[in-house]
Structure 1
Amino acid sequence: MVRIINYKERQKEDGTSFFVLEVQGGIEMVLSKVTGSFYATAKKAYISSTFDEQTCAGLIGTEMPGNIIKEDCESFQYVVKETGEEITLSHRWVYVTEDAVKPKQEAAKYEQNVIANSDVFSKNGILEHAE
């Protein structure tokens, strides 16, 4: 599940504006590489919308089924607001519905358990039809 926590106004290339919904996943515990201590965090993503500002404001707090996943993308520069450090990223966080996540998880589960049984194949190189 994800929750709508905010909205933001964005500009299209032609100058017109639209609103995106900011969604946040559940709490996750991450181990710091620097301190060795755990800290709590949550993944965030933005979803484009066709809603007006009033509707977006009314949707804050709404929970929706789905997850936020890491997606590879073309590298880009990002400035960490807290430190001013500029870093290069090659991923982004995106919202996906539960239906989009389940087939990938199911496929991965079966891919790991596939073992070919060589007894079902001909060993003499001659095609023989089953009777």
Structure 2
Amino acid sequence: MVRIVGYREIENEEGTSFFLLELQGGIEMVLSQTTNRYYATAKRAFISSTFNESTCLALVGTEMEGKIVKEECEPYQYVIKETGEEITLAHRWVYLPEGAPEPQKQTKTPAEVLQADVSTFSSNGVHELA
């Protein structure tokens, strides 16, 4: 179960504004790697919507079936607001409706993904037209 906890107005590349809904999952206890103590947190994700601002405001507090899951993505730089530290992430948090399949996890390394299929090349060193 996730809850709509807020919304944000943003602009797309064409300059058209629209609203994102901010979703938050349930409370989770996580062990700190620096203090070795547990702290409470919750996963958050944003989803786009076709709603106007007044509808988004009215939806705050609404619960929806589903969960927030980690999805692998291309690496990107992220600045931690509290410390100013810049880190590289290769995942994002996304909303997954109840019953929807989990995102596929990348099982190949980038080098394996880019590796050529050698069966398409000549094995006798002679160029032949197909």
Q: TM-score range by the shorter chain?
A: 0.7 to 0.9
Match of 1:41 in 2: 41
Match of 1:73 in 2: 73
Match of 2:14 in 1: 14
Match of 2:3 in 1: 3
* Residue pairs, 1:1-131, within 5 angstroms: 1-101=1-101
Give the number of the structure whose alpha-carbon radius of gyration is greater: 1
| C-alpha distance in structure 2 between counterparts of 1:11 and 1:90, whole Å | 24
| CA deviation string 1:14-51 (max 9, x = no partner) | 00100000000000000011111000000000010000
| C-alpha distance in structure 2 between counterparts of 1:21 and 1:13, whole Å | 19
User: Could you tell me how far 1:98 is from its partner in structure 2?
Assistant: 1.2
User: Could you tell me how far 1:82 is from its partner in structure 2?
Assistant: 0.3
| C-alpha distance in structure 2 between counterparts of 1:69 and 1:91, whole Å | 10
For 2:68, give the aligned amino acid: I
Structure 1 length-normalised TM: 0.76
The structure with the largest helix share of the pair is 1
For 1:95, give the aligned amino acid: Y
For 1:75, give the aligned amino acid: P
For 2:67, give the aligned amino acid: N
| C-alpha distance in structure 1 between counterparts of 2:53 and 2:74, whole Å | 31
After superposition, the CA RMSD in angstroms is 1.3
User: Could you tell me how far 1:100 is from its partner in structure 2?
Assistant: 1.1
User: Could you tell me how far 1:101 is from its partner in structure 2?
Assistant: 4.8
Number of aligned residue pairs: give it: 103
| CA deviation string 1:55-93 (max 9, x = no partner) | 000000000000000000001000100001111000000
